[in-house]
Structure 1
């Protein structure tokens, strides 16, 4: 019994330390994002000392929670991608017409990007000492969600697509998503955001819609101008 108690005490201390370590890591990352957003020009490097000062911990203590600068920078990038991803995923829903969904999703990313240019630039950087790129992983994960959305719409319309089109769906979606993100990267790199945000959102949404509409039209697929939630009723009526 005594041995069991000691083991339980040890496990409890270990869990408390792990929780404390996770909380301190999160606090340091939050401090880094504050420094990036408030104190640096987009794309500029920030120092560990700046992060330590903002988080209220000594520079040497900060490295108790991160293996090295590479680990710290990757953690910052992952958090930036998580926050951008949360914004995007919250808008990737089956509400509205296809055109409205496209406009909503693109609008959310363009708005987030224009409001967080410094964070976007940092997420795009290649971190020294690693080949890992959290932004590429995030793009891939979001593209998978968009692919599922498109697959659901195809199933809802009960249309047949060729094996080649099915196999090309994932790369094509990645092209759409990556293209929009590249356009936002170019636009936010300007000294002045021209055209304005609203106009740029409309333009990107229109271009993306034309790509999708052109492709499905060439396959003799009709996308009804109805909210997605009504497509099932539309399909049933067409079959009756």
Structure 2
């Protein structure tokens, strides 16, 4: 091996290690940002995020191109958190009403537990990128696969699965977001019951239009394994 080849390989090794270290540090800073958002609120500043990470603000931008890059990384992590939180839903067993209730509860739980993060994402949506839409899309894409499974089971047109999924997610998300701001007006259990009933009536109408009459309280065949 020539000296130039050895030097090239050494350089490549250093570049790989630096890339891995930079990615690890980025993840650490995003985790710190999530803590800062939860504690400080949606108006958190990059200085507060840097303080939470235990570094000076200029050091933060050695790992992110700018504030937009940091916001994008936080949004991507939020989408991953949603995916993880809802993963058990794809292995549920029960009736249509039970499945809907558990899914609605899980969505409300996530928004409640991450209220400041949701508000933060909403603020980013107003500044250009629709961060909330990104998170809702993650949920809707997964729900689409679930609806496709049952539409296939009932020998119905699966092309409507995506439209149904986005409609259901939009309903739960918008109602819960409003509830977070005025939660004393409607008890949590009542919110779940209302959304469950509305979603079932929507699904029941779709099924009946396709010639299917389904008892919402009978146990359904299990859905497929959750998406990877």
Provide the TM-score with structure 1 as the length reference.
0.82
Aligned match of 1:186 in 175, 178, 181? 178
3-state DSSP class of the match of 1:121? helix
Q: Which moved more, 1:144-153 or 1:89-98?
A: 89-98
Deviations 1:8-47 (A, max 9, x none): 221211111111111111111111111111123xx4x111
Partner of 2:213: 222
Answer yes or no: is 1:171 the counterpart of 2:163.
yes
Partner of 1:39: 40
Residues matched between the structures, number:
221
Q: Which moved more, 1:105-114 or 1:211-220?
A: 211-220
Q: Distance in 1 between matches of 2:63 and 2:30?
A: 11
Unaligned runs of 5+ in 2: 224-228
3-state DSSP class of the match of 1:15? helix
Is the alpha carbon distance of 1:170 and 1:128 closer, same or farther for their aligned partners in structure 2, counting shifts above 3 Å? closer
Q: Compute the displacement of 1:193 (Å).
A: 4.1
3-state DSSP class of the match of 1:92? helix
Provide the TM-score with structure 2 as the length reference.
0.86
Partner of 1:201: 192
- Poorly superposed stretches of 4+, deviation over 6 Å: none
Unaligned runs of 5+ in 1: 232-240
Whether the aligned pair in 2 keeps the contact of 1:78 and 1:135 (CA below 8 Å) is: no
Whether the aligned pair in 2 keeps the contact of 1:216 and 1:222 (CA below 8 Å) is: yes
Relative CO higher for 1 or 2, CA cutoff 8 Å, sep ≥ 6?
2
Q: Which moved more, 1:18-27 or 1:79-88?
A: 79-88
